[in-house]
Amino acid sequence: MNTRYSTIIAPSILSADFSAMGNAVRTIEESGADWVHVDIMDGMFVPNISFGSKMVNDLRPLTKLPLDVHLMIEKPERYIAEFAGAGADFITFHLEAAVHAHRLLDSIKKLGKKAGISIVPSTPAEALSEILELVDIILLMTVNPGFGGQKFIPQCIPKIEKLHRYRIERNLKYDIAVDGGINAETALTVREAGANVLITGSSFFSARDPAEEVLKYKGTYIV
């Protein structure tokens, strides 16, 4: 298990009631979770449409928690400044959607934001090897992106282990985030593999007690 990093829980508002986003943010804060995860989908890079930068702008006054923005969009370089200006703290884009990843990571950091990069389940961890020194967050999709409530793909676990090994071998400090099918059971699996940021959606917002759910994800819940 990864003992160098504390576990961060980032509920995704994609699974919240869209008519009550203020309530969703309050639920996240009151649960003891750490970040608010915002999935941005354009209907092209993934087969769904979610929010734009206005959602980030509207959420920003409602919470002091970091807003973790995940761009699942084509040509993400077109919108980096827009989401930074709206109040995102962390901006993650997909390696598969950007030709000049190095340049884009640098532009995010120049805007004063933490820079993240994400890969889908079919992309190998080795594809990130040349830019590991540049990233603050690596987000591994453990489902095929586009919809909430999907089943965790266990074949992604070796990628988590590999990126954790790279982190130790190269003495790097990036966070390893996982998104897709995260619940109390899979949380233990990915934490043991080396992930330290757990993005959860439907299992969090459907939980009887979200605070109890967060404790389970962190491995601190006592029956």
How far is Cα 53 from Cα 69, in angstroms, rounded to an integer?
A: 10
Catalytic amino acids?
Answer: 39, 179
How far is Cα 57 from Cα 61, in angstroms, rounded to an integer?
A: 8
CA distances for 157 relative to 92, 150, 173, 187, angstroms: 20, 16, 20, 11
Give the helix ranges, DSSP H, for 37-95.
53-59, 80-86
Q: What angle do CA 103, 169, 110 make, to 5 degrees?
A: 25
Say which residue the tokens 């040509």 belong to. Answer: 75
